[in-house]
Structure 1
Protein backbone atom coordinates (compact mmCIF):
# COMPACT_ATOMS: atom_id res chain seq x y z
CA UNK A 1 0.00 0.00 0.00
CA UNK A 2 1.27 3.44 -0.87
CA UNK A 3 2.03 5.80 2.03
CA UNK A 4 -0.23 8.76 2.59
CA UNK A 5 0.54 11.79 0.50
CA UNK A 6 -1.14 15.16 0.39
CA UNK A 7 -1.68 17.73 -2.27
CA UNK A 8 0.43 20.80 -1.52
CA UNK A 9 -1.31 23.82 -0.12
CA UNK A 10 -2.05 26.81 -2.29
CA UNK A 11 1.21 28.61 -2.96
CA UNK A 12 2.12 31.75 -1.16
CA UNK A 13 -0.27 31.86 1.76
CA UNK A 14 -1.12 28.41 3.05
CA UNK A 15 0.51 26.73 5.99
CA UNK A 16 2.17 23.33 6.23
CA UNK A 17 0.29 20.11 5.74
CA UNK A 18 -1.06 18.89 9.06
CA UNK A 19 0.07 15.58 10.55
CA UNK A 20 3.35 13.74 10.83
CA UNK A 21 2.54 11.16 8.15
CA UNK A 22 1.57 13.79 5.61
CA UNK A 23 4.46 16.15 6.33
CA UNK A 24 6.99 13.37 5.91
CA UNK A 25 5.07 11.54 3.16
CA UNK A 26 5.58 8.25 4.96
CA UNK A 27 8.60 7.25 7.00
CA UNK A 28 10.85 5.65 6.10
CA UNK A 29 10.37 6.65 2.45
CA UNK A 30 9.02 3.79 0.31
CA UNK A 31 11.57 2.46 -2.18
CA UNK A 32 9.36 0.41 -4.53
CA UNK A 33 6.50 2.82 -5.19
CA UNK A 34 7.75 4.98 -8.09
CA UNK A 35 6.07 8.31 -8.85
CA UNK A 36 8.14 9.29 -11.87
CA UNK A 37 10.06 7.83 -14.83
CA UNK A 38 13.49 7.84 -13.20
CA UNK A 39 12.33 5.97 -10.13
CA UNK A 40 10.20 3.70 -12.32
CA UNK A 41 13.14 2.19 -14.19
CA UNK A 42 14.97 1.53 -10.92
CA UNK A 43 11.90 -0.11 -9.40
CA UNK A 44 11.44 -2.38 -12.44
CA UNK A 45 15.07 -3.49 -12.31
CA UNK A 46 14.78 -4.09 -8.56
CA UNK A 47 11.80 -6.42 -8.98
CA UNK A 48 13.68 -8.35 -11.67
CA UNK A 49 16.64 -8.77 -9.32
CA UNK A 50 14.35 -9.91 -6.50
CA UNK A 51 12.75 -12.50 -8.79
CA UNK A 52 16.17 -13.73 -9.93
CA UNK A 53 17.30 -13.97 -6.33
CA UNK A 54 14.30 -16.09 -5.45
CA UNK A 55 14.96 -18.29 -8.49
CA UNK A 56 18.60 -18.81 -7.54
CA UNK A 57 17.60 -19.64 -3.97
CA UNK A 58 15.14 -22.28 -5.20
CA UNK A 59 17.78 -23.84 -7.47
CA UNK A 60 20.25 -23.98 -4.57
CA UNK A 61 17.65 -25.53 -2.27
CA UNK A 62 16.79 -28.18 -4.87
CA UNK A 63 20.48 -28.95 -5.38
CA UNK A 64 20.96 -29.18 -1.62
CA UNK A 65 18.02 -31.58 -1.29
CA UNK A 66 19.44 -33.79 -4.07
CA UNK A 67 22.87 -33.78 -2.44
CA UNK A 68 21.39 -34.84 0.91
CA UNK A 69 18.46 -37.06 0.02
CA UNK A 70 18.51 -37.68 -3.74
CA UNK A 71 19.19 -40.94 -5.50
CA UNK A 72 22.77 -41.94 -6.13
CA UNK A 73 22.42 -41.39 -9.89
CA UNK A 74 21.19 -37.79 -9.38
CA UNK A 75 23.93 -37.01 -6.89
CA UNK A 76 26.58 -38.26 -9.30
CA UNK A 77 25.20 -36.08 -12.10
CA UNK A 78 24.99 -33.09 -9.75
CA UNK A 79 28.65 -33.45 -8.83
CA UNK A 80 29.88 -34.19 -12.32
CA UNK A 81 32.03 -31.91 -14.44
CA UNK A 82 29.24 -31.30 -16.95
CA UNK A 83 26.94 -29.87 -14.25
CA UNK A 84 29.75 -27.65 -12.98
CA UNK A 85 30.54 -26.29 -16.46
CA UNK A 86 26.90 -25.64 -17.27
CA UNK A 87 25.53 -24.56 -13.90
CA UNK A 88 28.64 -22.94 -12.46
CA UNK A 89 30.07 -21.16 -15.50
CA UNK A 90 27.97 -21.10 -18.68
CA UNK A 91 24.61 -20.33 -17.07
CA UNK A 92 25.84 -17.46 -14.82
CA UNK A 93 27.83 -15.90 -17.67
CA UNK A 94 24.84 -15.91 -20.02
CA UNK A 95 22.31 -14.75 -17.44
CA UNK A 96 24.48 -12.00 -15.95
CA UNK A 97 25.47 -10.72 -19.40
CA UNK A 98 21.83 -10.48 -20.45
CA UNK A 99 20.97 -8.80 -17.15
CA UNK A 100 23.82 -6.29 -17.58
CA UNK A 101 22.70 -5.28 -21.06
CA UNK A 102 19.04 -5.12 -20.08
CA UNK A 103 19.76 -3.18 -16.87
CA UNK A 104 21.87 -0.57 -18.67
CA UNK A 105 19.20 -0.21 -21.34
CA UNK A 106 16.40 0.05 -18.78
CA UNK A 107 18.15 2.72 -16.69
CA UNK A 108 19.73 4.72 -19.50
CA UNK A 109 17.32 7.58 -18.73
CA UNK A 110 19.23 8.15 -15.48
CA UNK A 111 22.54 8.90 -17.16
CA UNK A 112 21.43 10.27 -20.53
CA UNK A 113 22.22 13.96 -21.13
CA UNK A 114 19.30 16.04 -19.86
CA UNK A 115 16.96 17.48 -22.44
CA UNK A 116 14.71 20.45 -21.68
CA UNK A 117 14.38 20.87 -17.92
CA UNK A 118 11.72 22.75 -15.98
CA UNK A 119 14.18 24.12 -13.44
CA UNK A 120 17.55 23.66 -11.83
CA UNK A 121 18.33 23.52 -8.15
CA UNK A 122 21.47 23.01 -6.08
CA UNK A 123 21.25 20.77 -3.03
CA UNK A 124 24.17 21.03 -0.61
CA UNK A 125 24.62 18.45 2.12
CA UNK A 126 25.43 19.82 5.55
CA UNK A 127 25.83 18.14 8.95
CA UNK A 128 22.91 17.24 9.27
CA UNK A 129 20.52 19.14 7.01
CA UNK A 130 20.17 20.24 3.38
CA UNK A 131 20.82 23.65 1.86
CA UNK A 132 18.55 24.30 -1.16
CA UNK A 133 19.20 26.91 -3.86
CA UNK A 134 16.86 27.50 -6.79
CA UNK A 135 19.05 28.43 -9.76
CA UNK A 136 18.34 30.96 -12.49
CA UNK A 137 19.19 30.64 -16.17
CA UNK A 138 22.71 31.86 -15.44
CA UNK A 139 23.27 29.13 -12.86
CA UNK A 140 23.23 31.57 -9.93
CA UNK A 141 20.95 31.13 -6.89
CA UNK A 142 17.64 33.00 -7.10
CA UNK A 143 15.95 31.66 -3.98
CA UNK A 144 17.31 29.90 -0.93
CA UNK A 145 15.56 27.38 1.29
CA UNK A 146 16.42 24.39 3.46
CA UNK A 147 15.37 20.73 3.78
CA UNK A 148 12.58 21.13 1.23
CA UNK A 149 12.37 21.36 -2.56
CA UNK A 150 9.33 22.46 -4.58
CA UNK A 151 9.02 21.25 -8.18
CA UNK A 152 6.43 21.24 -10.99
CA UNK A 153 4.85 17.90 -11.93
CA UNK A 154 5.41 16.15 -15.23
CA UNK A 155 8.70 17.91 -15.92
CA UNK A 156 12.32 16.99 -15.42
CA UNK A 157 14.18 18.85 -12.69
CA UNK A 158 17.98 18.93 -12.73
CA UNK A 159 19.74 18.84 -9.38
CA UNK A 160 23.34 19.83 -8.70
CA UNK A 161 24.54 17.92 -5.65
CA UNK A 162 27.38 19.17 -3.44
CA UNK A 163 28.65 18.75 0.12
CA UNK A 164 30.21 21.27 2.48
CA UNK A 165 31.68 18.80 4.95
CA UNK A 166 31.56 14.98 4.63
CA UNK A 167 30.12 12.54 2.10
CA UNK A 168 26.31 12.56 2.04
CA UNK A 169 23.96 10.86 -0.41
CA UNK A 170 20.77 12.38 -1.79
CA UNK A 171 17.87 9.96 -2.16
CA UNK A 172 14.16 10.55 -2.76
CA UNK A 173 13.18 6.95 -3.64
CA UNK A 174 9.87 7.68 -5.37
CA UNK A 175 11.42 10.24 -7.74
CA UNK A 176 14.88 8.89 -8.68
CA UNK A 177 17.89 6.88 -7.54
CA UNK A 178 20.46 7.95 -4.99
CA UNK A 179 23.66 9.82 -5.72
CA UNK A 180 26.56 10.65 -3.46
CA UNK A 181 27.46 14.22 -2.51
CA UNK A 182 31.24 14.46 -2.27
CA UNK A 183 33.16 17.47 -0.91
CA UNK A 184 34.89 19.37 -3.69
CA UNK A 185 32.84 17.72 -6.44
CA UNK A 186 29.51 18.52 -8.09
CA UNK A 187 27.35 15.58 -9.20
CA UNK A 188 24.18 15.95 -11.26
CA UNK A 189 20.95 13.96 -11.12
CA UNK A 190 17.44 14.20 -12.58
CA UNK A 191 14.16 13.82 -10.73
CA UNK A 192 10.55 13.99 -11.86
CA UNK A 193 7.17 13.63 -10.18
CA UNK A 194 4.22 12.66 -12.36
CA UNK A 195 1.57 13.75 -9.86
CA UNK A 196 1.25 16.35 -7.09
CA UNK A 197 2.19 15.26 -3.61
CA UNK A 198 4.74 15.29 -0.84
CA UNK A 199 7.65 12.88 -1.25
CA UNK A 200 10.04 11.95 1.54
CA UNK A 201 13.78 11.51 1.14
CA UNK A 202 16.74 10.50 3.25
CA UNK A 203 20.52 10.81 3.38
CA UNK A 204 21.68 7.39 2.16
CA UNK A 205 25.36 7.55 3.14
CA UNK A 206 26.40 7.40 6.79
CA UNK A 207 27.70 10.86 7.65
CA UNK A 208 28.13 10.57 11.41
CA UNK A 209 26.03 11.76 14.34
CA UNK A 210 22.30 12.03 13.59
CA UNK A 211 22.64 10.65 10.04
CA UNK A 212 19.46 8.60 10.41
CA UNK A 213 17.54 11.82 11.20
CA UNK A 214 18.68 13.67 8.07
CA UNK A 215 15.49 13.61 6.02
CA UNK A 216 14.29 15.63 3.07
CA UNK A 217 10.95 16.67 1.57
CA UNK A 218 10.04 17.26 -2.07
CA UNK A 219 6.71 19.00 -2.74
CA UNK A 220 5.35 18.57 -6.27
CA UNK A 221 2.82 21.10 -7.59
CA UNK A 222 0.81 21.27 -10.78
CA UNK A 223 2.77 23.58 -13.16
CA UNK A 224 0.36 26.51 -12.77
CA UNK A 225 0.43 26.19 -8.97
CA UNK A 226 4.21 25.97 -9.02
CA UNK A 227 4.43 29.17 -11.08
CA UNK A 228 2.28 30.99 -8.51
CA UNK A 229 4.35 29.55 -5.66
CA UNK A 230 7.57 30.69 -7.28
CA UNK A 231 6.22 34.18 -7.96
CA UNK A 232 5.10 34.51 -4.33
CA UNK A 233 8.56 33.49 -3.10
CA UNK A 234 10.30 36.02 -5.33
CA UNK A 235 7.92 38.74 -4.16
CA UNK A 236 8.65 37.86 -0.54
CA UNK A 237 12.38 38.51 -1.08
CA UNK A 238 11.62 42.09 -2.07
CA UNK A 239 9.72 42.82 1.14
CA UNK A 240 10.58 43.26 4.77
CA UNK A 241 9.71 40.48 7.21
CA UNK A 242 5.89 40.18 7.24
CA UNK A 243 3.55 41.18 10.00
CA UNK A 244 0.85 38.86 11.35
CA UNK A 245 -2.34 38.93 13.42
CA UNK A 246 -0.29 38.88 16.64
CA UNK A 247 2.21 41.73 16.10
CA UNK A 248 3.17 42.06 19.76
CA UNK A 249 4.29 38.43 20.05
CA UNK A 250 5.97 38.48 16.65
CA UNK A 251 7.77 41.72 17.48
CA UNK A 252 8.99 40.21 20.75
CA UNK A 253 10.14 37.13 18.85
CA UNK A 254 12.04 39.25 16.34
CA UNK A 255 13.90 40.98 19.17
CA UNK A 256 14.73 37.66 20.79
CA UNK A 257 15.90 36.26 17.46
CA UNK A 258 18.58 38.96 17.39
CA UNK A 259 19.46 39.12 21.09
CA UNK A 260 19.78 35.36 21.71
CA UNK A 261 22.17 34.83 18.81
CA UNK A 262 19.82 33.10 16.35
CA UNK A 263 20.69 35.67 13.67
CA UNK A 264 24.36 34.68 13.84
CA UNK A 265 23.57 31.30 12.29
CA UNK A 266 20.33 31.85 10.36
CA UNK A 267 19.15 34.16 7.60
CA UNK A 268 15.74 35.82 7.34
CA UNK A 269 15.34 37.90 4.17
CA UNK A 270 14.40 41.51 4.78
CA UNK A 271 16.03 41.60 8.22
CA UNK A 272 19.53 42.01 9.63
CA UNK A 273 19.75 38.23 10.14
CA UNK A 274 22.24 36.98 7.56
CA UNK A 275 23.82 33.93 9.17
CA UNK A 276 24.90 31.10 6.89
CA UNK A 277 25.90 28.38 9.35
CA UNK A 278 22.35 27.11 9.78
CA UNK A 279 19.27 26.71 7.56
CA UNK A 280 17.74 29.75 5.91
CA UNK A 281 14.54 30.62 7.82
CA UNK A 282 13.01 33.11 5.39
CA UNK A 283 10.11 30.78 4.53
CA UNK A 284 10.07 28.46 7.55
CA UNK A 285 6.41 29.26 8.26
CA UNK A 286 5.34 27.44 5.09
CA UNK A 287 7.66 24.42 5.31
CA UNK A 288 6.27 20.93 5.64
CA UNK A 289 8.74 19.77 8.30
CA UNK A 290 11.31 20.70 10.92
CA UNK A 291 14.69 19.25 11.83
CA UNK A 292 15.44 18.13 8.24
CA UNK A 293 12.30 16.19 7.53
CA UNK A 294 11.77 14.50 10.90
CA UNK A 295 8.94 16.55 12.49
CA UNK A 296 5.73 18.14 11.23
CA UNK A 297 5.99 21.92 11.22
CA UNK A 298 3.58 23.46 13.73
CA UNK A 299 3.75 25.79 16.72
CA UNK A 300 4.25 22.99 19.24
CA UNK A 301 7.13 21.36 17.41
CA UNK A 302 8.71 24.76 16.80
CA UNK A 303 8.67 25.52 20.53
CA UNK A 304 10.15 22.11 21.33
CA UNK A 305 12.84 22.40 18.67
CA UNK A 306 13.90 25.92 19.71
CA UNK A 307 13.93 25.00 23.38
CA UNK A 308 16.02 21.84 23.12
CA UNK A 309 16.64 20.40 19.68
CA UNK A 310 19.30 18.14 21.18
CA UNK A 311 16.57 16.12 22.90
CA UNK A 312 14.90 15.60 19.50
CA UNK A 313 17.93 15.18 17.23
CA UNK A 314 20.98 14.50 19.41
CA UNK A 315 24.25 15.73 17.97
CA UNK A 316 22.87 18.40 15.64
CA UNK A 317 24.71 21.71 15.61
CA UNK A 318 22.02 23.87 17.17
CA UNK A 319 22.63 24.47 20.90
CA UNK A 320 19.79 24.02 23.39
CA UNK A 321 18.02 27.13 24.70
CA UNK A 322 16.77 25.69 27.95
CA UNK A 323 17.53 28.99 29.68
CA UNK A 324 14.65 30.72 27.89
CA UNK A 325 11.30 30.88 29.70
CA UNK A 326 8.19 29.51 28.05
CA UNK A 327 6.85 32.88 26.96
CA UNK A 328 10.09 33.64 25.09
CA UNK A 329 9.98 30.28 23.31
CA UNK A 330 6.38 30.97 22.30
CA UNK A 331 7.31 34.40 20.96
CA UNK A 332 10.14 32.93 18.92
CA UNK A 333 7.81 30.27 17.55
CA UNK A 334 5.28 32.96 16.58
CA UNK A 335 8.02 34.88 14.80
CA UNK A 336 9.08 31.74 12.92
CA UNK A 337 5.51 30.98 11.90
CA UNK A 338 5.20 34.52 10.54
CA UNK A 339 7.96 33.87 8.02
CA UNK A 340 5.93 32.96 4.94
Structure 2
Protein backbone atom coordinates (compact mmCIF):
# COMPACT_ATOMS: atom_id res chain seq x y z
CA UNK A 1 0.00 0.00 0.00
CA UNK A 2 1.22 3.51 -0.80
CA UNK A 3 0.60 4.93 2.66
CA UNK A 4 2.35 2.02 4.36
CA UNK A 5 5.37 2.43 2.04
CA UNK A 6 5.55 6.18 2.72
CA UNK A 7 5.26 5.64 6.47
CA UNK A 8 7.99 3.01 6.37
CA UNK A 9 10.32 5.29 4.38
CA UNK A 10 9.84 8.26 6.71
CA UNK A 11 10.15 6.14 9.84
CA UNK A 12 13.34 4.43 8.59
CA UNK A 13 15.03 7.72 7.69
CA UNK A 14 14.09 9.47 10.93
CA UNK A 15 15.13 6.44 12.98
CA UNK A 16 18.50 6.41 11.18
CA UNK A 17 19.04 10.12 11.91
CA UNK A 18 18.06 9.67 15.55
CA UNK A 19 20.35 6.63 15.83
CA UNK A 20 23.28 8.56 14.34
CA UNK A 21 22.80 11.46 16.76
CA UNK A 22 22.50 9.07 19.70
CA UNK A 23 25.70 7.22 18.75
CA UNK A 24 27.58 10.51 18.23
CA UNK A 25 26.58 11.76 21.67
CA UNK A 26 27.39 8.37 23.21
CA UNK A 27 30.84 8.36 21.55
CA UNK A 28 31.59 11.88 22.82
CA UNK A 29 30.52 10.90 26.33
CA UNK A 30 32.61 7.70 26.26
CA UNK A 31 35.67 9.64 25.02
CA UNK A 32 35.29 12.20 27.84
CA UNK A 33 34.96 9.45 30.47
CA UNK A 34 38.01 7.58 29.16
CA UNK A 35 40.03 10.80 29.18
CA UNK A 36 38.94 11.41 32.75
CA UNK A 37 39.80 7.89 33.95
CA UNK A 38 43.21 7.94 32.26
CA UNK A 39 44.15 10.99 34.28
CA UNK A 40 44.95 13.06 31.21
CA UNK A 41 43.40 16.44 31.76
CA UNK A 42 44.11 19.41 29.57
CA UNK A 43 44.65 22.89 30.86
CA UNK A 44 41.57 25.04 31.24
CA UNK A 45 41.09 27.46 28.37
CA UNK A 46 41.17 31.15 29.08
CA UNK A 47 38.55 31.77 26.39
CA UNK A 48 34.94 32.14 27.56
CA UNK A 49 33.47 31.59 24.10
CA UNK A 50 34.19 29.62 20.95
CA UNK A 51 31.98 31.31 18.35
CA UNK A 52 33.16 29.22 15.39
CA UNK A 53 32.54 25.92 17.17
CA UNK A 54 29.17 27.09 18.47
CA UNK A 55 28.15 28.35 15.03
CA UNK A 56 29.18 25.02 13.52
CA UNK A 57 27.07 22.79 15.75
CA UNK A 58 24.11 25.19 15.66
CA UNK A 59 24.29 25.13 11.85
CA UNK A 60 24.43 21.32 11.81
CA UNK A 61 21.43 21.02 14.13
CA UNK A 62 19.47 23.59 12.11
CA UNK A 63 20.28 21.76 8.86
CA UNK A 64 19.06 18.44 10.33
CA UNK A 65 15.87 20.08 11.61
CA UNK A 66 15.07 21.82 8.31
CA UNK A 67 15.75 18.63 6.35
CA UNK A 68 13.53 16.47 8.57
CA UNK A 69 10.64 18.95 8.53
CA UNK A 70 10.84 19.44 4.76
CA UNK A 71 11.21 15.71 4.05
CA UNK A 72 8.31 14.76 6.30
CA UNK A 73 6.05 17.45 4.82
CA UNK A 74 6.90 16.34 1.28
CA UNK A 75 6.25 12.69 2.07
CA UNK A 76 2.96 13.62 3.73
CA UNK A 77 1.98 15.47 0.55
CA UNK A 78 2.92 12.41 -1.52
CA UNK A 79 0.86 10.17 0.75
CA UNK A 80 -2.22 12.39 0.57
CA UNK A 81 -1.90 13.57 -3.02
CA UNK A 82 -5.10 14.78 -4.65
CA UNK A 83 -6.91 12.21 -6.72
CA UNK A 84 -7.48 12.94 -10.40
CA UNK A 85 -11.06 11.68 -10.22
CA UNK A 86 -13.65 12.49 -7.59
CA UNK A 87 -13.01 10.16 -4.63
CA UNK A 88 -15.59 7.83 -3.19
CA UNK A 89 -16.94 9.01 0.14
CA UNK A 90 -17.50 7.02 3.31
CA UNK A 91 -18.87 8.63 6.50
CA UNK A 92 -17.30 7.06 9.58
CA UNK A 93 -18.86 7.64 13.00
CA UNK A 94 -17.44 6.40 16.27
CA UNK A 95 -19.71 5.91 19.26
CA UNK A 96 -19.59 4.13 22.61
CA UNK A 97 -18.61 1.47 21.79
CA UNK A 98 -18.57 0.66 18.08
CA UNK A 99 -18.52 2.17 14.59
CA UNK A 100 -20.91 2.96 11.77
CA UNK A 101 -19.92 3.36 8.12
CA UNK A 102 -22.21 5.34 5.82
CA UNK A 103 -22.11 5.24 2.02
CA UNK A 104 -23.85 8.42 0.78
CA UNK A 105 -23.14 7.51 -2.85
CA UNK A 106 -25.18 4.31 -2.66
CA UNK A 107 -28.80 4.42 -3.88
CA UNK A 108 -30.15 3.65 -0.41
CA UNK A 109 -27.56 5.69 1.55
CA UNK A 110 -26.39 2.46 3.06
CA UNK A 111 -25.06 2.28 6.63
CA UNK A 112 -23.04 -0.61 8.03
CA UNK A 113 -22.85 -0.85 11.80
CA UNK A 114 -22.75 -3.25 14.72
CA UNK A 115 -22.40 -3.35 18.48
CA UNK A 116 -18.85 -4.80 18.67
CA UNK A 117 -20.05 -7.49 21.07
CA UNK A 118 -19.44 -11.19 20.68
CA UNK A 119 -17.77 -10.88 17.31
CA UNK A 120 -20.37 -8.49 15.86
CA UNK A 121 -17.73 -6.30 14.24
CA UNK A 122 -18.83 -3.99 11.40
CA UNK A 123 -16.93 -4.22 8.11
CA UNK A 124 -15.81 -1.16 6.19
CA UNK A 125 -15.90 -2.19 2.51
CA UNK A 126 -13.77 -0.27 0.00
CA UNK A 127 -12.74 -0.92 -3.63
CA UNK A 128 -9.17 -1.55 -4.70
CA UNK A 129 -7.50 0.98 -6.95
CA UNK A 130 -9.93 3.78 -6.16
CA UNK A 131 -9.36 6.71 -3.83
CA UNK A 132 -11.73 6.64 -0.85
CA UNK A 133 -12.20 9.74 1.28
CA UNK A 134 -13.28 9.18 4.87
CA UNK A 135 -15.29 11.77 6.78
CA UNK A 136 -14.63 10.93 10.41
CA UNK A 137 -16.60 12.14 13.43
CA UNK A 138 -17.92 10.99 16.82
CA UNK A 139 -21.33 10.89 18.44
CA UNK A 140 -20.17 11.26 22.03
CA UNK A 141 -16.54 11.30 23.19
CA UNK A 142 -13.17 11.31 21.44
CA UNK A 143 -12.38 8.08 19.59
CA UNK A 144 -9.50 7.24 17.27
CA UNK A 145 -9.74 5.12 14.14
CA UNK A 146 -6.60 3.01 13.82
CA UNK A 147 -5.65 0.34 11.27
CA UNK A 148 -2.20 -0.87 12.44
CA UNK A 149 -1.40 -2.93 9.32
CA UNK A 150 -2.05 0.07 7.04
CA UNK A 151 -0.29 2.61 9.31
CA UNK A 152 -3.36 4.81 9.49
CA UNK A 153 -4.70 6.52 12.60
CA UNK A 154 -6.90 9.60 13.02
CA UNK A 155 -8.92 10.99 15.92
CA UNK A 156 -12.69 11.31 15.79
CA UNK A 157 -14.11 14.33 17.65
CA UNK A 158 -17.74 15.13 18.45
CA UNK A 159 -19.13 18.12 16.51
CA UNK A 160 -16.16 18.05 14.14
CA UNK A 161 -15.31 16.20 10.91
CA UNK A 162 -11.79 15.07 10.00
CA UNK A 163 -11.11 13.89 6.46
CA UNK A 164 -8.40 11.72 4.97
CA UNK A 165 -8.04 9.64 1.82
CA UNK A 166 -6.60 6.21 1.12
CA UNK A 167 -6.11 4.03 -1.95
CA UNK A 168 -5.68 0.31 -1.42
CA UNK A 169 -3.91 -1.45 -4.27
CA UNK A 170 -4.69 -5.04 -3.37
CA UNK A 171 -7.51 -7.13 -1.96
CA UNK A 172 -7.47 -8.08 1.67
CA UNK A 173 -9.01 -7.66 5.09
CA UNK A 174 -7.38 -5.86 7.99
CA UNK A 175 -8.45 -5.35 11.58
CA UNK A 176 -8.99 -1.84 12.89
CA UNK A 177 -9.63 -0.58 16.38
CA UNK A 178 -10.10 2.47 18.56
CA UNK A 179 -6.78 3.68 19.96
CA UNK A 180 -8.19 6.41 22.23
CA UNK A 181 -9.48 5.27 25.63
CA UNK A 182 -13.18 6.07 25.50
CA UNK A 183 -14.82 4.24 28.38
CA UNK A 184 -15.79 0.87 29.77
CA UNK A 185 -15.87 -1.16 26.54
CA UNK A 186 -13.11 0.64 24.67
CA UNK A 187 -11.21 -2.64 24.32
CA UNK A 188 -14.02 -4.23 22.26
CA UNK A 189 -14.24 -1.40 19.72
CA UNK A 190 -12.79 -3.28 16.75
CA UNK A 191 -13.86 -3.41 13.11
CA UNK A 192 -12.74 -4.83 9.77
CA UNK A 193 -11.68 -2.93 6.67
CA UNK A 194 -12.09 -5.05 3.55
CA UNK A 195 -10.77 -4.20 0.08
CA UNK A 196 -12.57 -5.89 -2.83
CA UNK A 197 -12.35 -5.54 -6.65
CA UNK A 198 -14.19 -2.50 -8.04
CA UNK A 199 -16.83 -4.62 -9.77
CA UNK A 200 -17.61 -6.53 -6.59
CA UNK A 201 -17.75 -3.26 -4.66
CA UNK A 202 -20.22 -1.73 -7.14
CA UNK A 203 -22.46 -4.82 -6.97
CA UNK A 204 -22.39 -4.75 -3.17
CA UNK A 205 -23.05 -1.01 -3.06
CA UNK A 206 -26.12 -1.29 -5.29
CA UNK A 207 -27.54 -4.50 -3.84
CA UNK A 208 -30.50 -4.51 -1.43
CA UNK A 209 -31.43 -1.00 -2.49
CA UNK A 210 -34.03 0.52 -0.21
CA UNK A 211 -33.05 -1.34 2.96
CA UNK A 212 -30.97 1.52 4.34
CA UNK A 213 -28.67 -0.81 6.31
CA UNK A 214 -26.52 -3.74 5.35
CA UNK A 215 -23.99 -6.21 6.65
CA UNK A 216 -20.78 -6.74 4.76
TM-score (norm. length: structure 2): 0.79
For the pair 1:188 / 2:163, whether they are aligned, the reply is yes
Aligned length: 199
Of the three residues 82, 93, 96, the one matched with 1:124 is 93
After superposition, the CA RMSD in angstroms is 2.7
Task: Give the distance between the partners of 1:141 and 1:63, measured in 2 at CA.
Answer: 66
**Residue deviations 1:220-260, cap 9 Å, x none?**
0111222232233x34x45xxxxxxxxxxxxxxxxxxxxxx
Counterpart position of 1:66: 31
Counterpart residue number, 1:42:
7
The yes-or-no answer on 1:86 pairing with 2:61 is no
- Note closer, same or farther for the CA distance 1:205–1:85 as it changes in structure 2 (3 Å cut): farther
Q: How far 1:177 sits from its partner (Å)?
A: 3.0
Structure 1: how far apart are the matches of 2:167 and 2:190?
19
Q: How far does residue 204 in structure 1 lie from its aligned partner after superposition? A: 2.5
TM-score normalised according to structure 1 size: 0.52
Query: C-alpha separation between the residues in 1 aligned to 2:108 and 2:16?
Result: 44
Contact 2:2 2:79 in 1 (8 A): no
CA distance 1:141–1:174, change in 2 (3 Å): farther
Which of 124, 128, 143 is matched with 2:110 structurally? 143
Task: State the secondary structure of the residue aligned to 2:164.
Answer: strand
For the residues of structure 2 that align with 1:42 and 1:150, how far apart are their CA atoms?
23
Mapped contact 1:153–1:192 kept (Cα < 8 A): yes
Deviation at 1:132, TM superposition (A): 0.8
Q: What are structure 1's unaligned runs of at least 5 residues?
A: 1-35, 239-268, 270-279, 288-340
Long gaps (5+) in structure 2: 114-121
Separation in 2, partners of 1:158, 1:195: 17
2:119 matched residue in structure 1: none
